[in-house]
Amino acid sequence: MVEIAGVEIGKVKSVRLDNYSALASLWIHKGVKLQDDAIASIKTKGLIGEKYIQVAPGGSDVYLTDGGKIRETESALDIEELVSKYVFGKV
């Protein structure tokens, strides 16, 4: 699932490894315009829920076209790993 502000705007078509980086292919609903400086982040629903991509809109006047790339990303926060470290006193 792909969301902006908690609203579903598309789906993840595929994810693959490309030179030790994840490369996700997204399908975005028609009519949704994403600025070329939008930021994509991997999030988790709830404590140990499913993962999804959250897009934060940018401020640019230039929009992505079909086949465009979101180049700004944020690393995923691994809640399970953090909880495990806390439980076992490694934080």
Q: Which pLDDT tens digit goes with each residue over 29-77? A: 999 999 999 999 888 877 667 888 999 999 999 999 998 999 888 776 6
Is residue 16 classed as helix, strand or coil in its secondary structure?
strand
Banded model confidence at residue 82, pLDDT cuts 50, 70, 90: low
pLDDT higher for 81 or 18? 18
Distance of CA 58 to the CA centre of its chain: 14
Q: Which domain holds residue 34?
A: 2-87
- Rounded to whole angstroms, the Cα distance separating 60 from 80 reads 35
Structural domain count, the chain: 1
What pTM value is reported for the model? 0.73
pLDDT at 50: 81
